[in-house]
Structure 1
Amino acid sequence: MNLVEFFVGRHLDSPRKDAPAYIDSELGEIGYTELYRAAGAFADLLSGNGVAPGSRAMVLADDSVATVVAVLGLWWHGCAAVPVNPALSDKEIGFIAADSGVKFGYVDVSGTRLSRLAAALPDIGQFRNHVRELILRQRRSGEAATPPPQQQWLPDQEALVQYTSGSTGVPKGVAHRASALQWVPSGFGRIAALAPGDIVLSTAKLSFAYGFGNSLLLPLHAGATTVLLNGGVDAQFVAAALRRHRPTVLFSVPRLYAALAESFDDRGSRLRLAVSAGEALPADLSERVMRRLGVPLVNSLGTTEALYILLATNPAEPGPGTIGRPVPGVRATVRDQDGRILDGDEVQGRLHVAGPSVAAGYLDRPEATRETFADGGAYTGDIVRRTRGGPIYYVGRADDFLNLGGYKVAPAEIEGVVRAVVGVRDCAVVGVADDHGLQQAVLFVVVEGDRESSAVRRAVIACLRAELASLKRPSRIELVDALPTTWTGKLARNQLRAIGAH
């Protein structure tokens, strides 16, 4: 098994060999042949510096051509890549470095940050910006050095370590097998159906499971072209990238789609497909986005524990409000708290998945591994509803459920009611402890810019009274200018909880 050949080398004897594989703001376009040679050159650098095949290596860098080359070069040399988000704090990066046991890394950050990280990562050998220099040197000389032989991979060999977001505690490392990476094009890849000629743009970064699949695993195997976005991603930045690069496939998250639904300019658009993941996609938002973009919006669900997307709607029948069905090769069941499969005309419970990409467990966390990786697969942490023979509906995250007077309430249920109120641009509900230590629901509302805030507040209160039982109604309503989001554009509920506690 050879990972670089599987994803890149397969195109070198085809008309795609000189077609652009990637586009970024620093190096411009890089073709498949140049990408392959650059990966070999970085592997040669690793070998020359005594890096042992089988080692884990941190890849601490924003999305760029150089970042992709670093990952491919590591695989060429037989090393497992550990992508890390550079937006994390020095302390968080230091934790991941120690937890994963990496001994060296590819680091591409600013000079000021680099000096701070040198203190945070004293025991890690760093290849700083070497990849970019290798590519530029190859371009100047027009020649490529003879690369070392590629390391062969066993199917169960660790090739990628991804860290969970740590939203419910410290981040946990998930080791993915080489065979899992190769399976992705056969799973969700069959639904996205990328092809040579497609131009892919993902707002999720390579340091996240969703972005890694969007920008590397799927498009490379398909021979497509991928646009890599460097820096923070917001609606204006994405809109500009859409106008400039005219992608055919867009991968993003619901909150960015909500912004695009208001500002997207379809003149000159070449979009044929949009994919959403990362958080719940309300049915009304899905319909608005599809009307504005003029293309199917595939709603999907994935998890770091299983590498990439596991459930998705059919582009031909998007089905707003559902997360669709398991992708090819995946089995999804709804289970109770004891792990028993629920069977009935309509059931609700924990989502359990099994398939080729499900990892074996977390790094050095046996208790958490036993809780999540059980019953022949993994629990995603989601509560879902399923009708017999029908699609799966997302209810909420198990750890986001509110305990209100002994009743379990999904924030999404309250949010769905509030979003229907005229004048509400966005909203979110979180649980916050009151003075007695009891959990209360706090509703945060973003008002449309041209609406009078007090009138919208009154309308929200009236709607809640009409639509929800008293036990489900928020105890407090806060009007805010915007909802906090993470680096990838997902709602940062932990920040809202902190705000609500004060």
Structure 2
Amino acid sequence: MDPTTGVTNPVELLLLDRPGGRRCAVDRRVGEVTYAAMRSAVAEYAGGLRAAGVRPGGRAVVVSDDRVAAVTAVLGLWWHGCVPIVLHPLLRAAEIGFVVRDSEAEFADVDVAPEHEAALRAELAAIDADRRAAGRTGPLTRFTRYSGPGAPRPERGGRAAPPPARFGATDELLVQYTSGSTGRPRGVRHCLRAVHAVLRGLGSVLELTPDDVVLSTAKLSFGYGFGNSLLYPYAAGASSVLLDGQADPYGVAAALEEYRPTVLFSVPRLYAGLLRLAEQGKAVRTGSLRLAVATGEQLPGDLAHRIAEALGVPLVNGFGATEVLHTVIAAEVGRGGAAGPGSIGFPVPGVTATLRDDAGRPVADEVPGRLHLATESAALGYLHRPDDTARVFADGGVYTGDIAFRATGGDIRHVGRADDMLLLGGYRIAPAEIERVVRGVAEVADCAVVGSADASGLEQATVYVVARDPGRPDGARKAVRAALRADLAPYKRPSRVEVIDALPATANGKLARFRLRHRSGEGGGT
């Protein structure tokens, strides 16, 4: 039992005590859904799991875009006592299959477009066959549905479910997959204690009320979006707007006009896109907003002030990591001395941030060090990765992999990543994952992916390619772009492809990525 609240299941916190007539979600495919309707749907879902013989305590993969059906599945799995793992439907079948295998998931709820269904069914069938060959009883339970026009509304009612299952404060409750430095995804194991911690932390900064309408451009399948669209609004009895499809400035501008949210969660890249639309004369209606939050990638100071001025509401700049469930450092732009270059603000309530050297010793103010976070929202560790768990979850907290320093004003200033990970639009991407795809192109002799700042100061990815035939650079470029479209989800694709004669190397023959970053920062490319 959680020692501070007595809540033993998230559905008690997020669903059961809410006024039934209030709206909890809006989905363009099914319309508005009330808390009463959601309770009915979640109870039915949990009853269906029980009737199908799904084991409480097992892990379950939910493949879905941001839809009411996805929220129903997550809450229904929790009700039944399962551990949900939410994945984006644009991941390739092999990527989804990896997570199913790695997590040893016992159930999969798949909601994908028809053109992706066959490949995913084949992948799941192969996993079923392997399970049977290994002597595991019972195939992987799954069903596929497409939430298109005419999809059933969640207030159908149906099977009864027993009371919600009980989770201990540190029992595994949720697994979120994030890329490692090699591009191999790692499952981050969260618990109920962490949910309460982030609600007491950033939740106290947001001060959501039942009258708030939350719009998040980050997806439920990512830690940032999961908190934005589910944990924070439902804990406050507010409502969330669920946007499916790829988020872009035009779509966000349309959603702002149609749904009139009071709180907007997005990434700096999309805020910059909204500014460009406004500068081009496009109406971007932000009059309903009372608060905006920018997290997921570094927010340059000048861009932050432009956003805050254009929106006319407080803008909270935040920093978080999947390993601590959500945002743990934040500050309103322009307040508290948190407007300097690289500033990400101050630890939210319940979080202690320190900067440490390689031996784990705290360093003095103004001295860069490894960012270490001590918080009850720290994950239980990585799934099946004991070495990574020991390295990251150490010294009483979590090392995020970021280099930062504490300024004289007390705020934390971000310097960069301790590794070569890219942070693109809120998604952490390993260059090695992109490079594997590019190296598989016949026209490519070698390649490297680096990050650099674009004209707005936001991080972008560039893939540098050495053509196998130096006389045909355009052929190599076209082949690389085709491979990226075919083999990588849209949010993982580099924005630039440059063909160069040779990759720069250090004196000992290693790739000199810093030279490519300098070159990328100079502009150009196609």
Under a length normalisation based on structure 2, what TM-score does the superposition of the two structures give? Answer: 0.76
Task: Report the Cα distance in structure 2 between the residues aligned to 1:425 and 1:5, rounded to whole angstroms.
Answer: 43
Correspondence for 1:193 among 188, 201, 207: 207
1:315-337 deviation per Cα after TM superposition (whole angstroms, max 9, x unaligned): 68273341111111111100011
Partner of 1:434: 504
1:350 aligns with 2:353: no
Tell me the equivalent position of 2:93: 90
Out of 101, 119, 126, the position equivalent to 2:104 is 101
Name the structure 2 match of 1:255.
269
SS state of the match for residue 54, structure 2?
Answer: coil
Q: Is the 8 A contact 2:38 2:154 kept in 1?
A: no
Q: Which residue of 2 aligns with 1:310?
A: 328
Report the 3-state secondary structure (helix = DSSP H, G, I; strand = E; otherwise coil) of the residue aligned with 1:339: coil
Are 1:277 and 2:291 an aligned pair? no
Which deviates more from structure 2 when the two are superposed, residues 271-280 or residues 143-152?
Answer: 143-152
TM-score w.r.t. the length of structure 1 is 0.80
The residue aligned with 2:179 is 165
Q: For 1:137 and 1:329, how far apart are their aligned partners in 2?
A: 39
1:356 maps to amino acid = E
Compared CA separation, residues 480 and 292, structure 1 to 2 (3 A): farther
Structure-2 change in CA distance of 1:401 and 1:338 (3 Å):
farther
Kindly provide the CA deviation profile for residues 166-199 of structure 1, in whole angstroms up to 9, marking residues without a partner as x: 4642010011012212322111000011111111
C-alpha distance in 1 between matches for 2:41 and 2:75: 9
- 1:200 and 1:226 in contact (8 A); partners too: yes
CA–CA separation in structure 1 for the residues paired with 2:462 and 2:233: 37
Distance change (3 Å), C-alpha of 1:257 and 1:19: same
Instruction: List gaps (5 residues or longer) in structure 2.
Output: 1-7, 129-139, 423-449, 465-502
State the distance in 1 between where 2:374 and 2:167 align: 23
Aligned partner of residue 379 in structure 2, secondary structure: coil
Alignment of 1:356-367 (within 5 A): 356-367=376-387
Among 6, 24, 29, the residue aligned to 1:26? 29
Q: Which residue of 1 aligns with 2:354?
A: 333
Matching residue's letter, 1:336: D
SS at match of 2:20: helix
* Sequence identity (%): 46
1:111 corresponds to 2:131 = no
Cα separation, 2, equivalents of 1:100 and 1:401: 23
Pairs within 5 Å for 1:2-21: 2-11=9-18, 16-21=19-24
Q: Which amino acid aligns with 2:10?
A: L
**1:264-312 deviation line (CA, Å, top 9, x unaligned):** 4355621111111111000011011111111121111111111111100
Aligned partners of 1:2, 1:133: CA distance in 2, in Å?
Answer: 33
| Counterpart selection for 1:154 from 168, 190, 196 | 168
Paired residue secondary structure (2:404): strand
Cα distance change of structure 1 residues 184 and 474 upon mapping to structure 2, 3 Å threshold = same
Report the CA distance between 1:146 and its aligned residue.
Answer: 3.2
Question: Does the 8 Å contact 2:178/2:322 carry over to 1?
Answer: yes
Select 2:251's aligned residue among 232, 237, 241.
237
> CA–CA distance in 2 between the matches of 1:266 and 1:180?
36
The structure-2 alpha-carbon separation of the partners of 1:131 and 1:90, relative to structure 1 and needing over 3 Å to count, comes to closer
| 3-state SS, counterpart of residue 244 of structure 2 | coil
Query: Residue 416 of structure 2: which of 389, 396, 412 is its match?
Result: 396
Q: Contact 1:38–1:135 at 8 Å: present in 2 too?
A: no
Cα 1:427/1:206, change in 2 over 3 Å: closer
Q: Could you say if the C-alpha distance between residues 210 and 267 of structure 1 is closer, same or farther in structure 2, counting changes exceeding 3 Å? A: closer
**Residue 312 of structure 1: SS of its match in structure 2?**
strand
User: Aligned with 2:381: secondary structure?
Assistant: coil
| Structure 1: stretches of 5+ with no match in the other structure | 403-410, 445-472, 482-502
Q: Indicate yes or no: 2:230 matched with 1:208.
A: no
Partner in structure 2 of residue 479 of structure 1: 524
Cα distance, 1:39–1:427 mapped onto 2, change above 3 Å = closer
* 1:177 counterpart = 2:191: yes
Given the superposition, is the C-alpha separation of residues 119 and 135 from structure 1 closer, same or farther in structure 2, using an over 3 Å criterion? closer
Moved more, 76-85 or 116-125: 116-125
How many residue pairs align between the two structures? 431
1:55 to partner: Cα distance: 0.8
Matched, 1:297 2:315: yes
Change in 2 beyond 3 A, CA 1:65/1:334: same
Structure 2 equivalent of residue 63 of structure 1: 66
2:48 is matched with which residue? Answer: 45
- Tell whether the 8 Å contact from 1:277 to 1:302 is kept in structure 2 after alignment: yes
Give the counterpart letter for 1:272 in structure 2. R
Q: Secondary structure of 1:18's partner?
A: coil
